Amino acid sequence: MVQGNAFGIDLGTSNIKIYSLAGDSIMIEKNMIAIANKKDVFAYGDSAYDMYEKAPSNIQISYPLCNGVIADINNMEKLVKYFITDMQGGSLKPAEFYIAVPTDITEVEKRAFYDLIKDANVKAKKIMVVEKAVADGLGLDVDVKNSQGVLVVNVGYDTTEVSILSLGGIVLSRLIKTGGLKFDEAIRQAVRKEFNLLIGQKTAEMIKKSIVSLEKEGKGAVVYGRDIVTGLPVEREIPTDLVVNSLEEHFNTIIDSIKVILERTPPELGADIFRNGIYLTGGASQISHLAGLIQKGTGLKVNCAQHPVESVVLGLSRILKNDSYKSVAYAIEGMGK
Ligand SMILES: Nc1ncnc2c1ncn2[C@@H]1O[C@H](COP(=O)(O)OP(=O)(O)OP(=O)(O)O)[C@@H](O)[C@H]1O
Ligand SMILES: [Mg+2]
């Protein structure tokens, strides 16, 4: 077992998820920071997000991650330190860190995740890396160490990761630049084109998340925005059909990349993949119609995650709690030297 405390971190572009072994708890916060006057941290996490699109011009609110990789190292280090300090009740104690990383990035980008923890001054005694898709599989209760073919699709905010696992390792993985953010943008554009109505990103996200229930009720989404012609604020009902049609192109991109991965998968792994089907996870995988369209497009059964936002960090928690899973994690020190 781990001596002292240990943390499992899934640094998502939109949400940072951290598991604490000591508290056996998961923290989920927006991966956002608000900087005032170019230097002072004004807010972080969910409270920075609350100010997004509303803050005065001297406060800069940003996501330090972009497309699944660290874009703003300084602010990312600050955020990690704040969150880890908060989770320890205000004072840092030595701990081990297991951090999930995408597979389809460069060695330098991977090393940056390791360096991030090392340089964040969080008293790291040990830093281990876990491929995100492997953690996803564990978090979804798949027997990743013994299965010979597991297809995991994680639809996040900036990215979608499509991976094939076998015997606890990654066989193939592709990270594509589509996800919840692209869905929100498509909805904004469709609403603007159809109704001459400008809506904010948060409104578009709210529409996206409510489609499932609105379709059940047979209603449209009632939103507030600004009329482009009159410049005045108006209320409008947006039909769900318009929203769903606007997402088709992005759904097809995801389905196509799953097909490409399947075409490249060694045939020996096909039997298990066929038997198990696809494991679909990530926050944006909950979007209405996506699971059904993937099933139709690939002919494979689709298993939807029960906790799609948390599956990576749940997998990390299983690794921290159970020594028999430790072999899926690896050290990165010395890499690239
Ligand atoms: N019920 C829902 N329906 C549709 N989309 C949802 C729902 N709940 C959350 N989302 C979307 O999920 C996305 C966030 O998911 P997640 O936390 O998995 O991403 P991330 O890990 O931060 O991003 P990435 O993996 O790309 O770095 C957001 O775009 C959010 O709008
Ligand atoms: Mg993610």
Intrachain domains 5-137+311-328 and 145-304 with the same fold = yes
Question: From the CB of 102, is ligand 1 less than 6 Å away?
Answer: no
CATH number for the domain formed by residue range(s) 5-137+311-328: 3.30.420.40
Q: Where are the domains of the chain?
A: 5-137+311-328, 145-304
Question: From the CB of 68, is ligand 1 less than 6 Å away?
Answer: yes
Residue nearest to atom 2 of ligand 1 (CA): 209
Residue 55 banded pLDDT, cuts 50, 70, 90: confident
What pTM value is reported for the model?
0.96
Do residues 86 and 20 make contact, with C-beta atoms less than 8 angstroms apart? Answer: no
- Which of 105-109, 156-160, 317-321, 329-333 bottoms out in mean pLDDT, i.e. has the lowest? 329-333
CA of 62 to the centre of ligand 2 (A): 17
Q: Is the CATH number 3.40.50.2000 carried by domain 145-304?
A: no
User: What pLDDT does residue 165 have?
Assistant: 97
- C-alpha distances in angstroms, 325 versus 8, 130, 145, 168, 314? 13, 11, 8, 9, 13
Question: From the CB of 283, is ligand 1 less than 6 Å away?
Answer: yes
CA of 12 to the centre of ligand 1 (A): 9
User: What pLDDT does residue 334 have?
Assistant: 58
For 32-63, b where at least 16 C-beta lie within 10 A, e where not — what string?
Answer: bbbbeeeeeebbbbeebbbebeebeeebebbb
Portion of the chain with pLDDT greater than 90, in percent: 96
Do residues 154 and 176 make contact, with C-beta atoms less than 8 angstroms apart? Answer: no
User: What pLDDT does residue 1 have?
Assistant: 55
Mean per-residue pLDDT, 238-263: 98
Q: What is the pLDDT of residues 3-39, one digit of tens each?
A: 679 999 999 999 999 999 999 999 999 999 999 998 9
User: What pLDDT does residue 337 have?
Assistant: 38
Q: Which residue has the tokens 């899934």?
A: 10
The alpha carbon of 77 is separated from its chain's Cα centroid by a whole number of angstroms, namely 19
Which residue of 157, 202, 214, 289 sits with most ligand 1 atoms within 8 Å of its CB, as the best mutation to test the pocket? 157
Q: What is the pLDDT of residues 100-150, one digit of tens each?
A: 999 999 999 999 999 999 999 999 999 999 999 999 999 999 999 999 999
Mean per-residue pLDDT, 80-98: 96
Collapsed DSSP state (helix, strand, coil) of residue 22: coil
Question: From the CB of 35, is ligand 1 less than 6 Å away?
Answer: no
Mean per-residue pLDDT, 184-188: 98
Q: Which ligand is nearest to the CA of 285?
A: 1
> What residue type is assigned to position 148 of the chain?
Q
By C-alpha distance, which of 207, 273, 272 is closest to 237? Answer: 207
User: What pLDDT does residue 4 have?
Assistant: 76
- Which of 43-47, 66-70, 179-183, 236-240 bottoms out in mean pLDDT, i.e. has the lowest? 66-70
Which residue of 309, 312, 314, 316 sits with most ligand 1 atoms within 8 Å of its CB, as the best mutation to test the pocket? 309
With a cut of 90, say whether residue 309 has pLDDT above it.
yes
Residue nearest to atom 9 of ligand 1 (CA): 283
User: What pLDDT does residue 3 have?
Assistant: 62
User: What pLDDT does residue 60 have?
Assistant: 95
Q: Which residues have CB under 8 Å from 198's CB, separation 6+? A: 188, 192, 225, 226, 227, 228
Tell which atom from ligand 1 comes closest to the C-alpha of 10.
Answer: 21
Residue 335 banded pLDDT, cuts 50, 70, 90: very low
Tell which atom from ligand 1 comes closest to the C-alpha of 209.
Answer: 3
Return the structure tokens found at 258.
């799953």
**CA–CA dist 68, 99 (Å, integer):** 13
User: What pLDDT does residue 336 have?
Assistant: 41
Tell which atom from ligand 1 comes closest to the C-alpha of 160.
Answer: 26
With a cut of 90, say whether residue 82 has pLDDT above it.
yes
